[in-house]
Structure 1
C-alpha cells in the first residue's frame, strides 16, 4: 500500500513537471530536437540571436543618447530664457515686483491646496476606520 502511494505521488510529480515544461515551451518539443539541428547549427542560431540582441541594445543606447542630447539642448534653451527674463526684470523693477507677487500668490495657493488635500485625506481615513 505504501509503495502504491509512493508510485502515485511520483507519477503525479512527473506529470506535473511535464505539463509545466510543455507550458513553458509553448506545448511543442524543444526547437533543437524538433528540427534535428546539429550542434554547429544550434551554435550558429544562438550566435544569430546574440547578434540581434546586441543590435537591439545598440539601437536603444543610441535612442537614449539622442534623448539626452535633446534634453541638454532644452536645458540650454531654458537657461537662455531665464537669463533674458532676469535681464528684463532687472531693467524694469515694476515687472520684478509683479513677478514676486505672482510667485507669492502661487506659493500661497499651493499651500492652501495642499492643506485641503491633507484634510480631505484625513477625513477619508477617519471615516474609513471609524
Structure 2
C-alpha cells in the first residue's frame, strides 16, 4: 500500500513540475503583455481584430486556472505524502513556488488594473479613437456568431429531416418486401391447387369412362340375349 501511495505521490510531483514550468513561461509573457497593453490610438481602419487588452484578459484567465490547478495538486501531494523530512521539504518548496507565482500574477494584474483605471479617469466621457469601431466590430462578431449558430441549427434540422425520410423509405421497402413475400407464397400455393384440381378432374373423367364402358357392355349383352 505504501508503494502505491509513493508512486501516486511521484506522479503528482511530476505534474506539479510540469505546471510550474508552464506557469513560469506564461508569467513572463503575461508581464510583457501587461506592459505593452493599452490604448493604441490607431484609426478605425488600423485597429487589430484582437487587441493586446483582449489577449491580456485571456491569458489572465488561463493563468488563474493553472494556478488553481497547481494549488490543488499541492494539496493532494500533502495528503498522500509518504512521510519524512525530505518529503516535507519538497512539499514546502512547491508551496513557496506557488506563492511566488501567485504574488507575481497578482502584481502584474494589479498594475494593469491601476493603469486602466487611470486611463478611464483621464478619458472621462469621451470615447478613445477607435473605441466605437471596436464596439462595432464586436457587434459584427456577435452577429456573425449568431448567424453561424443559426446556420448550424438549420443544418442539423435538415440532417434530421433527411434521416427521418431515410427511415420512412426503409420502412416502406420492408413493407414492400413483406407484400412481395406474401405474393410469392400465394403463387407457390396455386400450383398445388391446380395440381389437385387436375387430379380431381382426371379421376372424374376416368370414372365417367368406366361407367360408360359398363353401360355399353351391359347394353350389348342385353341385345345379344334378346336376339337369341
Specify the TM-score bucket, using the shorter chain as the normaliser: 0.3 to 0.5
Structure possessing the higher radius of gyration over alpha carbons: 2
Q: What TM-score comes out, normalization by structure 2 length?
A: 0.29
Q: What TM-score comes out, normalization by structure 1 length?
A: 0.47
Question: Higher RCO, 1 or 2 (CA under 8 Å, sep at least 6)?
Answer: 2
